[in-house]
């Protein structure tokens, strides 16, 4: 089954996607991760997008559509989780065409609802394992007391360049201006489900499971 996780920055898409990868054998396609990988590899693409991302602006549709298109031909038993894509109506249309051309279907779009005040505190409290990408949060999922990642035992943690208040405000603005229209788009297609993203991580996991199993 192929699904989209939709929601503003900090709504928990990445955390939930990683759980679905572990429990349902799905493949996570995160355009944010792909762009950050490009940035840290120092590729031409990475250089092009670094400043745009740090400001909190969206990178151009053709770049992210290209990145997703390259990955969709891989086979997966559990299906794909689109995380952070699509983010514009043009990307949503492009995904539709890409899926059709590979004879894949879209089974569900899960909107993770959170209020904006919660986002600011979540994001400014966020850190990530430098080695495996496990996400921690000073409030909801603090760094392990022994200083070692629960997943890979690495002791190096990083904060994202765009996880500061100014970039976050811009990311939120981009979300409301450009991404939120796709909520209506998928509602009209009969694909939209909403979950409360404000609960504990396991509560959100349950809510998503319920949607996927129905
Ligand atoms: P978050 O959901 O926390 O904002 P992501 O990791 O999904 O974080 O994205 C980080 C940044 O990468 C975005 O602010 C944007 O600059 C860029 N980006 C990621 N996905 C897309 C996309 N589908 N379209 C355009 N830009 C994107
Ligand atoms: Zn780790």
pLDDT for 77 equals 80
Pick the closest to residue 152 from 137, 132, 136, 126 (CA basis). Answer: 132
- Which ligand sits nearest to residue 170's alpha carbon? 1
Q: Which of 131, 141, 160, 178 is catalytic?
A: 160
Nearest to 137 by CA among 110, 160, 115, 171: 160
Beta-bridged to residue 141, according to DSSP, are 137
83, 161, 164, 170 from 56: Cα distances, Å: 17, 10, 10, 5
Catalytic residue among 18, 39, 87, 122: 87
User: Which residue has a Cα nearest atom 9 of ligand 1?
Assistant: 32
Would you put residue 142 in left (φ > 0), alpha (ψ -120 to 50) or beta? Answer: beta
Name the pTM for this structure: 0.90
91 CA: nearest ligand 1 atom: 23
Our answer to whether residue 87 is catalytic in this structure is: yes
pLDDT for the residue 41: 94
Q: What is the mean pLDDT of each run of 10 residues along the chain (214 residues)?
A: 95 94 95 94 95 96 96 87 98 96 94 90 90 89 95 95 90 96 97 95 96 94
Question: How many A from CA of 126 to the centre of ligand 2?
Answer: 14
Whose alpha carbon is nearest atom 18 of ligand 1? Answer: 32
171 among known catalytic residues? yes
Q: How far apart are the first and last CA of the chain?
A: 12
For the CA of 30, the closest atom of ligand 1 is 7
How far is 109 from 5, CA to CA, in rounded Å? 6
Query: Any catalytic annotation for residue 39?
Result: no
Please give the backbone phi and psi of residue 48, each rounded to the nearest 5 degrees, phi first.
-65, -40
Predicted pLDDT of residue 73: 84
Ligand 1 contact, 7 CB (< 6 A): no
Q: Which backbone phi and psi does 113 adopt, to 5 degrees?
A: -95, 130
């Amino acid at each position: 089954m192929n699904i989209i996780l939709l929601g503003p920055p900090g709504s928990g898409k990445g955390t939930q996607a990683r759980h679905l990868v572990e429990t349902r054998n799905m493949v996570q396609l995160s355009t944010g991760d792909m762009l950050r990988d490009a940035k840290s590899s120092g590729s031409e693409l990475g250089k092009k997008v670094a400043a745009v991302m740090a400001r909190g602006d969206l990178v151009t549709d053709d770049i992210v559509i290209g990145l997703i298109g390259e990955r969709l031909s891989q086979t997966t038993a559990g299906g794909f989780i689109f995380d952070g894509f699509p983010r514009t109506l043009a990307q949503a249309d492009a995904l539709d065409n890409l899926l059709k051309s590979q004879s894949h279907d879209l089974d569900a779009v899960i909107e993770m609802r959170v209020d904006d005040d919660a986002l600011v505190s979540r994001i400014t409290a966020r850190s990530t394992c430098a080695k495996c990408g496990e996400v921690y949060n000073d409030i909801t999922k603090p760094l392990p007391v022994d200083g070692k990642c629960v997943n890979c035992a690495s002791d190096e943690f990083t904060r994202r360049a765009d996880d500061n208040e100014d970039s976050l405000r811009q990311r939120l603005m981009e979300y409301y201006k450009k991404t939120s229209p796709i909520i209506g788009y998928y509602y009209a297609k009969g694909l939209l489900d909403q979950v409360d993203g404000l609960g504990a991580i396991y509560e959100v996991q349950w809510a998503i499971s319920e949607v996927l199993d129905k």
